[in-house]
Amino acid sequence: MEVIVDGAAQPPAGDWPGNVFDLVVAIGQKLHAQGRSIMSVRLNDDAVSAEALVDSMKSKPLSSVQRLVITSENTQKLVQESLSEIDRSLPELPVACHELARVFQSESPDAGYEPFERLAAIWSTIKERELMIANAMELSLEGLNLDDQTVRGFHDDLNGYLMEASQALRSRDLVLLGDLLEYELAPRAEKERTIVALLKKEAERQAG
């Protein structure tokens, strides 16, 4: 089996684990100690998504794979790039909430359906990025305080309101949906800037 990490062939090791998943984990731990994070994994030239990593590799023996290619990136660089990407999306969130609230309470509420789905998708991506950044910095969102609650608690509350808004959308309760967007989701959209500021402060502290 050929193992290549960041373009460099890795010599066979007698203590390699018996399946591909455990080997990827072991390589990931070694990279982590070097301040790097895995960006992509390829098996026999086929890309493996992070979501499919466990299912596709957990029971796959090393003998069944000819080539494993892993690429990584400096963790601090990834954190900074991800924070910058989130920053660019944040100004849109509260504006979109207020605009959608007006649309759903107008005479043409159907015009807001697709924009609401896009808003929910963008917000979901932002939350995933925040979690990824926190994990990369070994920072618990349960220990990161945002006003009178933790960031984890904020995310849990936000998920609840997004689910309530989605249900209101499906049941065409447009009055409730407009109220949720205006009075619950828009203020929470504003708070995302505070979360990113907290993550930036921690990233700067770790960078020294």
Query: What band does 182 get if pLDDT is binned at 50, 70 and 90?
Result: very high
The confidence score (pLDDT) of residue 14 equals 62
- Virtual torsion, Cα 47, 70, 136, 206, nearest 10 deg: -150
Which percentage of the chain shows pLDDT scores above 90? 52
pLDDT for position 207:
80
pLDDT score at 13: 60
Instruction: Work out the pLDDT band at 138, boundaries 50, 70, 90.
Output: confident
* Residue 95, pLDDT above cutoff 90: yes
